[in-house]
Amino acid sequence: MPQSRRGSNRIGHKSRHATPVGAAPQPIDLRLTQLPHVFILQMYLSQFGYLPASARNPANSGLQDKSTWLNAIQEFQNFAGLNITGELDDETLKLMSLPRCGVRDRVGTGDSRSKRYALQGSRWRVKNLTYKVSKYPKRLKRVDVDAEIGRAFAVWSEDTDLTFTKKTTGPVHIEIKFVESEHGDGDAFDGQGGTLAHAFFPVFGGDAHFDDAELWTIGSPRGTNLFQVAAHEFGHSLGLSHSDQSSALMAPFYRGFEPVFRLDDDDKAAIQSLYGKKTSQPKPSNAYPVTSTLRPSYTPPKVPLDDSICKDSKIDTLFNSAQGETYAFKGDKFYKLTTDSVEEGYPQLISKGWPGLPGNIDAAFTYKNGKTYFFKGTQYWRFQGRQMDGVYPKEISEGFTGIPDHLDAAMVWGGNGKIYFFKGSKFWRFDPAKRPPVKASYPKPISNWEGVPNNLDAALKYTNGYTYFFKGDKYYRFHDARFAVSQIHSIHQWIETY
């Protein structure tokens, strides 16, 4: 969030003359200096990527290698456009006291010769994204929050072909929460001021969290403007890192309320480098007062040709195609799933969709070679798109040495790109590049995947980046980084067809 353009909060781009750093690193005990709150400063520089994580340990308070400390201060000053003195002068300390985004400043890549923006390195594979607000702020009306969140997403769709659809249930690409203090992701909020919000990049799920201790406001210079902060955080959710361009929305510091908002050219170049330029018009306005708020589109659920999946949501398998489409198999039929329902015209017969493939499939996955593998009983089939890729079926014992027959589920896990098979209370990891492809330490108990039940029906990494497990009428969203189930819901909340 760019710094304020008003009063003492303004940041200028001044001449940058670096203070020399001694050639030989030597420890400097800052507890002997006159600098106040040294540990707080270390925490700040560590939190935002300028010092190592060990600096956040109270045992290391005030004790830093001199060159490490000076380099950290200089890097921060350089990023913020301050004079590069290597000293914690008044201007540097004042900037550190400003409200800001909680995402690290140094993440990803940028080309300082031609642009100031930075990219984290991940992006969504689809352009039609979904979101939901699962926890609203205490002090604002839900309808007003929904309107501001819609406006914030629209900032990023004005110059690209990205679309954002609001949902109230089921899995989404971006989940939004207003929370306080410690809230389950290991990055606690700090009350009013300080860190306002943080968001995860696409590779980590894209979710956005806002500190509900802040005084969130709409269309007012009082408090913290929800629209501007949300638009910044959603930039992270789409794959943008912080920019060192002070006028950019993706600069880390909160700039204060702007009655007329316009996206900076730096931000436009950044988002278009990930998702391309917009191919259609018109563009909505983001000026106050809002006379015609751009609201997220809503498509009512479509009823499938038969409602067997609505009456009994247990499925045989679920997988993504090489094109990113999601299919559910049940008996001799298959369903194509959209982000909020079953696509119109389904179910259809598996034998017509994948000629030569039987019904009642046990498991399926699409590997990084673009080929989809189906498993039933003791056999498996390989398809390139909708065409059988060779002479099949073949025995699982021949093509997947070390993997059992009569599987429950299979998937390619996003955590490491390896293939995982599940049966009963056990799982196997299969790596075709290794010999043997299954290590002697397998099988292992499914209970290693904290919260995942035995006897699964299906598993997959969905297009929103999360891993999902399915059993009976429930699905389990798995947090890859914490290696534990984070949410459990009814499948009916995903396949809204009843």
Q: Which residues are annotated as catalytic?
A: 233
Residue 353, phi then psi, degrees to nearest 5? -75, -40
Find out whether 496 is annotated in a ligand binding site: no
Find out whether 37 is annotated in a ligand binding site: no
What DSSP designation does 492 have?
G
Cα gap 27→64, rounded to integer Å? 6
**8 A C-beta contact, residue 375 and residue 362:** yes
Closest CA to 370 of 321, 420, 319: 321
Find out whether 183 is annotated in a ligand binding site: yes
Find out whether 190 is annotated in a ligand binding site: yes
Find out whether 250 is annotated in a ligand binding site: yes
Find out whether 185 is annotated in a ligand binding site: yes
Contacts of 417 (CB under 8 A, 6+ apart): 368
Burial class for 223, CB neighbours closer than 10 Å (0-12, 13-18, 19+): middle
Give the up-direction half-sphere exposure of residue 210: CA atoms within 13 A in the CB hemisphere.
Answer: 29
Q: How far is CA 123 from CA 236, 272, 440, 465, in A?
A: 10, 12, 36, 10
Find out whether 492 is annotated in a ligand binding site: no
Looking at this protein, which amino acid is placed at residue 90?
D
Find out whether 362 is annotated in a ligand binding site: yes
Find out whether 146 is annotated in a ligand binding site: no
What DSSP designation does 77 have?
H
Find out whether 205 is annotated in a ligand binding site: yes
Find out whether 353 is annotated in a ligand binding site: no
Find out whether 212 is annotated in a ligand binding site: yes
What DSSP designation does 3 have?
P
Find out whether 43 is annotated in a ligand binding site: no
Find out whether 173 is annotated in a ligand binding site: no
Closest CA to 80 of 52, 38, 44: 44
CB atoms near residue 379 (< 10 Å): 18
> What residues form the annotated binding site for Ca(2+)?
190-191, 205, 207, 211-212, 214, 316, 362, 364, 410, 457
The annotated binding site is made up of: 101, 183, 185, 190-191, 198, 205, 207, 209, 211-212, 214, 232, 236, 242, 250, 316, 362, 364, 410, 457
Q: Which residues are annotated as a binding site for Zn(2+)?
A: 101, 183, 185, 198, 209, 232, 236, 242, 250
